[in-house]
Amino acid sequence: MRPFEPYNQEAEEAFVGSFFLDSELVKECAILPEQLYFPELRLLYTGIRSLVEKGMPVDLVTILSELGIEGIKNAGGMTYIAQLIGSVPSIANFHTYEKLVKEYDKKRKLIAAGEKIMGQAASEDSDTTVRDGINELMRIEEDQTDDDTGEITSSLVELFVECEQDQGEMVGIPSGFHDLDRLTGGFQASDLVIIGARPSMGKTAFALSLALQAAEEDVSLIFSLEMSKKQLIKRMTGCTGRIDSLKMRNPQQSFGDEDWEQFANGIGKLSHLQLHIFDRAGMDVAYIRSKVRKARMAYGEERRLLVVIDYLQLLEGDRKNYQNRQAEISEISWALKTMARELNVTVIALSQLSRGVENRHDKHPILSDLRESGQIEQDADLIAFLYRDDYYNSDSSKKNKMEIILAKHRNGPTGTIELGFNKQYGAFVNL
């Protein structure tokens, strides 16, 4: 059996030869010289691109002037170049040649990635090997599958059809809180939403509330880096069953008959939700992306997916590639936004705030309080902060109230709304 050869010489020669028939093709071609396998053709293509940039014609005389005698020798010589030009009958099949060149470049990169994974598997731990391998394959996919021509006709048709239909006030995933939904229109697909708060402010409880609401009609995926799956389910059962969190610590001793009934009702409600919880230690974006991609394939493109990450600063990046934690968090933030767009999901990532909040007289959070990265502010489509005045002031006039502060909203208004917060159940209610 003939061994596989990761190149197509005929396609590369026809690709480069086409530019001598029509140099304008260079301007509509996105292939780079390094994507060609043969060094002679790579050099020749580089010279052709340079001539076109200078506004000069492409022929045997100009390419000789551009590359020089030594360069022409390295490109195979004048005889080879003349044969190359004569072997292309017309430019009618140029895009076929271009597609073949791109395809074989992708094959070579996949082979190189496979060899790298094999080598790394012998020396690194398996988790690192899998993570790096997934990242490498994703980069290849992103580089090679961009066939977007930028045309807008189909988008204009989609917009016209959407405008003819009554979208209602709720176009995204509802939060279950009417004042918040009035400002946001629901959480939109492809958006990155950041919910920031100081520790013990209630951000996990708020995120669980959003996930539970979404899972009733849509699909929720929770990635918990701080609490186990069992702990989260316990909290959600107490919330949906309206059971005191203190009683949930030891139900056998604390529950009465009514509590057991509410507990059973809570479990019953959870069992009917489209809810998935992942609590693997040391999660990274590649792991989250793989699970979200599987969910997207399982539920189809028509289902809305809400992805909740608790919380951003606990996510791991590849620290070998970053000089500091700020750069690492910036990369993680960008990766989450990219995932939201590519898989058409809503990503809600919880974020810790810096201690600077505690040193101010007014402890309402502001955008500069986001920990470790201004990139988070740039990538996020919506940033909301949670604030409870009774957390700081025991005699507060806003007992058991949570302020939701929309500090950034790329596609809508900002503002502050208030919810009732029942600490006993970890539940939020409309006021």
Provide DSSP, 115-145. Answer: HHHHHHHHHS-HHHHHHHHHHHHHHHHHHH-
- E runs forming strands in 204-361: 219-224, 275-278, 305-310, 346-352
CA 393 to chain CA mean position, Å:
39
Q: How far apart are CA 45 and CA 355, in angstroms?
A: 56
Closest CA to 149 of 95, 109, 104, 190: 95
Q: What are phi and psi of 347, to 5 degrees?
A: -110, 120
Strand partners, 316: 284
Q: What is the C-alpha separation between 431 and 428, in angstroms, rounded?
A: 9
* Residue 253 one-letter amino acid: Q
Helices (H) and strands (E) in the chain, counts: 16, 9
CB atoms within 10 A of CB 66: 19
Q: In what order do the strands lie in the sheet with 427-430?
A: 275-278, 219-224, 305-310, 346-352, 192-197, 382-387, 401-409, 415-422, 427-430
Catalytically active residues are: 226
Name beta bridge partners: 421: 428
